[in-house]
A and B are shown apart, each in its own frame.
Chain A
Amino acid sequence: EPEVTQTPSHQVTQMGQEVILRCVPISNHLYFYWYRQILGQKVEFLVSFYNNEISEKSEIFDDQFSVERPDGSNFTLKIRSTKLEDSAMYFCASSRQTGGAGETQYFGPGTRLLVL
């Protein structure tokens, strides 16, 4: 069964450093997403991406964040200058269509980011 993959599984970084989290969505999916989950809290939407542009973003997704689809398979989340409060599990997800049609979003296993 096809699945979303993410690398690395864990990332430790110093405050102020840049990090890039990588995702390979399911191959025939067209919509891509990033969510995050701070330890002990709920999953929160960050951004959605379709046709090489952001279709929606949350207030969390400020100028420190960016997303890119550098090639036909990868989808990346960059945090330019990490803060302590960026420590969280970051999940990538993908879907064939927009969720407005009840389309299922499939989640990757996540990258656990720890900012020291």
Chain B
Amino acid sequence: RKEVEQDPGPFNVPEGATVAFNCTYSNSASQSFFWYRQDCRKEPKLLMSVYSSGNEDGRFTAQLNRASQYISLLIRDSKLSDSATYLCVVNEDGYNKLIFGAGTRLAVHP
């Protein structure tokens, strides 16, 4: 079983749409969770950390369900500039390494 699984997409949405991405992780001991964004041939950049109570940053909302080992990202009012690959990332407690999902590609069109 893959450590972090994501739907690869692509999700093709019009500007202004709301889109949701899901992710599951296999290690129940995982403690830290993140969404990173990666533009084509660029480095991953932190979009937001994901907290147990859920958190919001502008148009972006992240949720964590530890019982189901499930993480989500909701993007409201999509912009053309949101087009990228969204990486679900998990860090296992006490270790340094980040475990990346393969990413979900989002394409926002006019």
Contact = CB atoms under 8 A, between A and B. Distances in A.
A47 B44 CA distance: 17
Contacts of B93: 100
Given A48-B96, A104-B46, A110-B43, A42 B31 contact: no
A52 B99 CA distance: 23
Nearest to A108: B43
Which bracket fits the contact residues of A?
20 to 34
B97 interface: yes
B32 interface: yes
Interface string A21-61: 00000000001010100000111110010100001101000
Interface of B: 31-32, 34, 38, 41-46, 49, 87, 91-103
27 contacts: A33-B96, A35-B98, A43-B44, A43-B87, A43-B98, A43-B100, A45-B98, A56-B96, A58-B97, A89-B41, A91-B43, A99-B32, A99-B91, A99-B95, A99-B97, A100-B32, A100-B92, A100-B95, A101-B32, A102-B31, A102-B32, A102-B49, A104-B49, A105-B98, A107-B44, A109-B42, A110-B43
Interface of A: 31, 33, 35, 41-45, 48, 50, 55-56, 58, 89, 91, 98-110, 112
Given A48-B97, A50-B96, 17 more contacts: A35-B98, A43-B38, A43-B44, A43-B87, A44-B100, A45-B97, A45-B99, A48-B96, A56-B95, A99-B96, A100-B96, A102-B32, A102-B91, A104-B34, A105-B98, A108-B43, A109-B42
